[in-house]
Amino acid sequence: MRKWMRNSSPLIIAFILLSFAFMPSKVVVPETLKVTEPTEVLFPKNKTLFSAPSVAPPFLGSSYVGFKEALAFKESQGDYFSINTLGYLGKYQFGIGTLQLMGVHDATSFLNNPALQEEVFMTNIARNKWILRRDIKRFEGKRIKGVEVTESGMLAAAHLAGAGNVKKYLRSYGQYDMKDSYGTSIAKYIRKFSGYDVSDVSPKRNPKVSKI
């Protein structure tokens, strides 16, 4: 038996080597199996592999348009059809009470009308500018808690918390600082929206939107 194995081993080795010699040097993939475009990859459900990319608002400088678009981005990321968990509506997140002050009584029509949303925003800014007109003259350029107070910062804070609460903040020199339901304070808006040119908006007493 051992003699047979000893005599046959060279033949086995030679056969294996010859089989490798006749293998094709390149594997040809059939056309139907070739990948010519990206294919969909299925990931496990309910697993987040990557965090969502951060999105920045468009840079529009310190103009009024820059001001309103930056504020809109903070409120809703600029989405006209947004409704938050508290029921605030649209690109600038208006509450029903404020809309009624502006002369808007149909929330559904408001939400589906971007032109009306823009008019309501400017109308509300004009209204807040009227309410804060004396405080703008008194506090603009001063510092409260190390932050310079500007007209645009005051108007942004009024959009957040109401002009009356901004008055209380200014006149208490920051001791009264109201926060919204998500924890955003008047002081934060005064700082974040400082230095925009909102001179295009004229103060108006009890303004209403036009019929659209």
Residue 6 domain-assigned (yes or no): no
Task: Tell me which residue range forms the domain holding 127.
Answer: 64-192
If one counts every other C-beta atom within 10 angstroms of the C-beta of residue 197, the result is 16
101 within some domain? yes
DSSP 32: G
pLDDT band at 181 (very low <50, low <70, confident <90, very high): confident
Confidence at residue 37, expressed as pLDDT on a 0 to 100 scale: 46
* Residue 211, pLDDT score: 64
Q: Is residue 212 part of a domain?
A: no
Q: How confident is the model at residue 16 (pLDDT cuts 50, 70, 90)?
A: low
Please tell me the total count of domains within the chain: 1
- 92 touches 119 (CB < 8 A): no
Helices 151-161 and 163-171 pack at an angle, to 10 degrees, of 120
pLDDT of the residue at 210: 84
What is the Cα–Cα distance from 99 to 126, expressed in whole angstroms? 14
What b/e string do you get for 129-153 counting C-beta neighbours within 10 Å, with b at 16 or more?
bebbeebbeebeeeebeebebbbbb
Beta strand segments in the chain, E: 143-144, 147-148
Kindly state whether residue 22 falls inside one of the protein's structural domains.
no
